[in-house]
Amino acid sequence: MDLPVAPPFAIRARLLTPLDDGGTRHEHDGLVVVDEGGRIVFAGAAADRPEAAASAIDLRPWVLLPGMVDLHAHLPQLPNAGLGAGLDLLTWLERYIFPLERGFDEVAADRLAPAAWRAFARAGTTTAMVYAAVYEASTDATFRAAEAHGIRAIVGKVMMDRGTYDGTIDPTTILDRTLAETARLIARWHGAADGRLSYAVTPRFAVSCTADLLRESASLAASTGAYWQTHVSEDRGEIAEVARLFPEAIDYVDVYDRAGGLGERTVLAHAVHLSDRELGRLVESRTRVAHCPVSNLFLASGMMPLGRYLDAGLAVGLGSDIAGGPDVSIFGVMRVGFYVQHARRVAGVEDGRMLEPLDWLRIGSLGGAQALGLDATIGSLEAGKEADLIVVDPAFVAPIPGIEDDDPADLASRLIFRAHPDMVRGAWVRGRGLDGPGVRS
């Protein structure tokens, strides 16, 4: 099957997408028309545009979906994906992760980052918010690879001024140095590729950062319009360590609040064990959370009460947390997220609403776009948005050949519970085909 590599084009296929108004659009015989600028000019029933449908590339019975949004991943950790199960967070970091990130120099990034972006696209992810390592040069290389690949990416150089894994950096200069490096990276990359690339100021987490670094980094993000990303309340041992390091703070969220880090440009990963006060403060400040249920079980961190958080009004998207999570697939994240909801119910601790398969598709695409403030641009297949989309072959998720799911909720359920690594056959950002999915690998 020859897929379009650049706009303009029109694809006729089954169509399944969340909508900005809260609904879902499902068309058995759908059509998406993309203009020369990579923007969707029509997404709906083929019967409503018979002329365009007649000349469109016909991919039926494949299914067009919005591209998935991964709100949290560590690109340099991808080579260790699937390793270290059974360790707690802080031990896992010391044993498996810090040595790997220490080796993520420019040469390593030039080798790894192009393959990593292809792996995201192959899984159906068209927007990824990632951490690099502590090095400026390899963060540049990571951005260069994203620029060339075509994925929509938000990247940040990790900042650590306490317990950093690179002993060659003079501790007395580390704060000024990491701020200067970050400022240069923002100047080079925030808004690059006509807005397809963005910068996230990235203090690793409170355990690795002084109050000065947290405050200065938040101030740098605010003054430049960059995002600010870090981790919060992932693991009990980590929470205890943060309480020891920041005795003046009320709780973990308050550490970031005091630094000026909360707000709608901030994405906090995990947030598994929030108190009611912390939850209320994140909602009030419009701070965004990346839910990473695969990672949370892989590292035995806990089970986030997603339903309760959503009922409280928290903005939540999904994250693979590579390599805390062993796989880049956001469909896999939805599956485990579903199981976490069930496990909470079995354990008698679930007190919020349960998400259905179509809710999970929404949170993995439009929910992630909303968390990034990009929902006017991406996240659903609707006229006026940029053409960030994927096409899936449902034959890969059928339990035996010939079974088809007419109902959209059934189709969503198959894609989540029977997600297959080859099911994504094409992925586009702004109508430009991405390398990675099977047809182009």
Q: What residues make contact with Zn ion under the rule CB under 5 A?
A: 269, 321
Phi, psi of 74 (to 5 degrees): -115, 100
Give the nearest distance from C-beta 231 to Zn ion in angstroms.
5
> What token pair was written down for 31?
């059509």
User: Which of residues 125 and 380 has its CB atom nearest to Zn ion in the complex?
Assistant: 125
Give the nearest distance from C-beta 275 to Zn ion in angstroms.
21
CA angle 21, 23, 26 (to 5 degrees): 130
User: Which of residues 42 and 98 has its CB atom nearest to Zn ion in the complex?
Assistant: 98
- Find how far residue 292's CA is from the centre of its chain: 9
User: Which of residues 74 and 430 has its CB atom nearest to Zn ion in the complex?
Assistant: 74
Give the H/E segment covering residue 76: none
Give the nearest distance from C-beta 62 to Zn ion in angstroms.
33
Give the nearest distance from C-beta 93 to Zn ion in angstroms.
10
User: Which of residues 59 and 336 has its CB atom nearest to Zn ion in the complex?
Assistant: 336
Query: Rg of the chain's alpha carbons, rounded to an integer?
Result: 21
User: Which of residues 56 and 113 has its CB atom nearest to Zn ion in the complex?
Assistant: 113
Alpha-carbon distance of 415 to 410, in angstroms, equals 9
Give the nearest distance from C-beta 118 to Zn ion in angstroms.
21
User: Which of residues 63 and 290 has its CB atom nearest to Zn ion in the complex?
Assistant: 290
Give the nearest distance from C-beta 72 to Zn ion in angstroms.
6
Give the nearest distance from C-beta 246 to Zn ion in angstroms.
20
The DSSP symbol for 426 reads: E
Helix, strand, coil % (nearest 5) of the chain?
Answer: 40, 20, 35
Q: Is 132 exposed, middle or buried (CB count within 10 Å of its CB: 0-12, 13-18, 19+)? A: buried
The closest residue (CB) to Zn ion is: 321
Strand order of the sheet with strand 40-45? 40-45, 24-34, 9-18, 57-66, 389-392, 424-429, 432-433
Find tokens 């100047």 and name the residue.
Answer: 187
Alpha carbon distances (Å) from 107 to 69, 110, 111, 155, 286: 28, 5, 6, 18, 39
CA angle 378, 303, 132 (to 5 degrees): 50
User: Which of residues 31 and 75 has its CB atom nearest to Zn ion in the complex?
Assistant: 75
